Amino acid sequence: MMAYERVQVFAVVRIDKLIKDPLEQIAVQSVLPRFEDAQLEAVRLNSLVDHDRTEYVVRVTRYYPQGRSSTEQRT
């Protein structure tokens, strides 16, 4: 089995607090390669919104540039 390349990235995630359906409440706003950049973007976006309605947070995730085949090893 082949190993696959993965890159750690940071997602800026929007949480719409007034939407009750959890599947609709959360959306990825952007994905950035550096935590510091993602954090700055979340701070910037949070300065523009009503915190009772919307909040932006940063979450770490992985990006697979070549994709993930079902025959490749999972780690």
Number of domains in the chain: 1
18 within some domain: yes
43 within some domain: yes
**If 0-12 CB within 10 Å is exposed, 13-18 middle and 19+ buried, where does residue 6 land?**
middle
52: domain range? 8-63
70 within some domain: no
pLDDT means per 10 residues, the chain with 75 residues, are 81 97 95 98 98 97 85 51
73 within some domain: no
28 within some domain: yes
Residues 6+ positions from 54 with CB-CB distance below 8 Å: 14, 15, 16, 17
41 within some domain: yes
Residue 3: predicted pLDDT? 65
